[in-house]
Structure 1
């Protein structure tokens, strides 16, 4: 593979497909990882994935993969508070795509309408509210950004 992309998924995303399906859909994290892996093969990109409910485990994984060409992250519950993870990802000094399955500003019962998402400011690509489709959209755009090959990929995305 010519490129390596780290995919990080934060707290509770291991329960994707079961947890609040009315908000986050019925697709599982394994479905998302499978989609990204398949798209990665089409784009000649190695996908290395880590999900954890613990910020330190995500930071350790990031440190172990500092040879990556970019990062795709769904910080989930670390969106408002995961500054150490934000620093670890920023230390890579490579393009970053942040993905949120739902639109944060519409989740008033959890975050409130004036949510400060620290990932927005540091991300080169910010995808919010596309459901799990946001992961594949973010990966494609991330690879375009890294390679400079905008609109040149002939792919067949899988969306389950």
Structure 2
């Protein structure tokens, strides 16, 4: 099984950007945690980060026939990108939405996710563990044959 770990805008600044909200782990460290779990679960992971909406959409389109599921942190695009929502909805594979912070406990504008209604599920508020829980959920969904 192969999984895409897709990181949205500003996640390249993790460890520097608002550590009180997002923690001190860098994106490279988080990817390392994910890679270790992938090895434990005997699955493959591919990582991609972009600050550009179109690049994220292109990467989602490129998953067809290549990966079994996606673990996706859309960052701020979560709250307004209908284009990303439509890209997720078009996929015949599970997409798990993840966030380091609890978006439902933050500013009002962050409470709404346009991605969640078309994702297989959403995991928020557990810091880097959100990604690990997301990968475990994706593996479980693929093994059970669910989208």
Q: Distance in 1 between matches of 2:16 and 2:117?
A: 30
Residue segments in structure 1 that go unaligned for 5+ positions in a row: 150-160
User: 1:98-128 CA deviation, whole Å, 9 max, x = no partner?
Assistant: 00111113222xxx16732112212222101
Indicate yes or no: 2:3 matched with 1:22: no
Q: Distance in 1 between matches of 2:106 and 2:12?
A: 20
Separation in 2 of the partners of 1:62 and 1:114?
Answer: 23
Name 1:155's counterpart in structure 2: none
**SS of residue in 2 equivalent to 1:53:** coil
Equivalent-residue separation in structure 2 for 1:113 and 1:105 (angstroms)? 9
Equivalent residue pairs, number: 144
Q: Which residue of 2 aligns with 1:69?
A: 68
Which residue does the alignment assign to 2:134? 138
Distance 2:74 2:54 in 1: 13
Cα displacement (A) at 1:63: 2.0
8 Å CA contact 2:84, 2:115 repeated in 1 = no
Work out the CA distance in 1 between the residues paired with 2:110 and 2:30.
Answer: 29
Distance in 1, matches of 2:60 and 2:104, equals: 28
Show CA shifts across 1:10-51 (max 9, x none).
Answer: 110000111000010000111111111121122222111111
Q: What's the counterpart of residue 33 of structure 1? A: 31
Backbone CA RMSD of aligned residues: 1.7
SS at match of 1:118: coil
Structure of higher CA gyration radius: 1
Q: How does 1:37-52 map to 2 (within 5 A)?
A: 37-52=35-50
Q: CA deviation at 1:90?
A: 2.3
Taking a change above 3 Å as real, the CA distance of residues 143 and 12 of structure 1, as seen in their structure-2 partners, is same
CA contact (8 A) 1:11 1:53 kept: yes
Structure 1 runs of 4+ with >3 Å offset:
none
**TM superposition score normalised by structure 2:** 0.90
TM score, norm. by length of structure 1: 0.83
Asked if 2 retains the 8 angstrom alpha-carbon contact of 1:99 and 1:134, the reply is yes
- SS of the equivalent of 1:92 reads coil
- 8 Å contact from structure 2 (residues 7, 75) kept in 1: yes
Q: Distance in 1 between matches of 2:15 and 2:110?
A: 27
